[in-house]
Amino acid sequence: MVVLMSNDSTTAGYLTPVSDGPDYDEILERELSRWVKALSGLPDGMVKSRWTPVQSAQPAADVNWCGFGIIGIPADDNPAFIDPQDNDSDAQLWRHEVIECMATFYGPGGQRIATQFRDGMAVNQNNETLNAVGLSLADYSPITPFPELINKQWVRRYDITVRLRRKVIREYGIKTLLDAPVKFFGD
């Protein structure tokens, strides 16, 4: 049996979204890196993605910088389905997800920069900037000192985990049933 890919419910087969969903992968990571840079006050190039195909050289122990990455994307277990109101509309799947991020601040001013980043998250205007890209601050962890031995030298390190929320809407080509070839008979 061959299952064909349709992209609406007028024919049998699997359905895939008919519109783009939210940003993920490198686009999302870049947006969040800009946010970390802005709140922490670090200069250009000093917020580095944790997991890239080609890793840049780690800055020296006397340089302030941040390693940043997404560490989880949990979502609610029961998405909502919003049925179309007419046959020209598509059904929508609504779900909420959390983007869990870890920021690790290194360098002689790492503690100061980590606390500045944490406190910057409490500023409404900074949250409005996040809201503009569909994200909102859920919560964040305490800052954890975690000195790291690199090349036989202790490097100051401070970790914080941030949880951001967003609503994901995906449209599927599920059409309404406008009429059915059914006849009712009887008394």
Query: Alpha carbon of 163 to those of 70, 73, 144, 177, 187: distances in Å?
Result: 10, 9, 16, 41, 62
Task: Say how far apart CA 81 and CA 79 lie, in whole Å.
Answer: 7
Can you count the helices (H) and strands (E) in the chain?
A: 3, 9
With respect to residue 106, please indicate whether it lies within any of the assigned structural domains. Answer: yes
Helical (H) or strand (E) element with 106: strand 91-106
- The pLDDT value recorded for residue 94 is 94
Domain count, the chain: 1
- Please report, in tens digits, the pLDDT of each residue of the chain (187 residues total): 445 466 888 888 889 998 888 999 999 999 999 999 999 999 999 999 988 888 888 899 899 999 999 999 999 999 999 887 776 788 899 999 999 999 999 999 999 999 999 999 999 999 898 999 999 999 999 999 999 888 888 899 999 999 999 999 999 988 776 655 666 676 6
pLDDT of residue 158: 98
Range of the domain at 97: 25-52+63-172
Residue 180 placed within a domain: no
CATH label of the domain that carries residue 109: 3.30.2000
Across the strands, what pairs with 52?
Answer: none
Residue 155 lies in a domain: yes
* Residue 182 belongs to a domain: no
The per-residue pLDDT for 10 is 82
Q: Flag whether 75 is in a domain.
A: yes
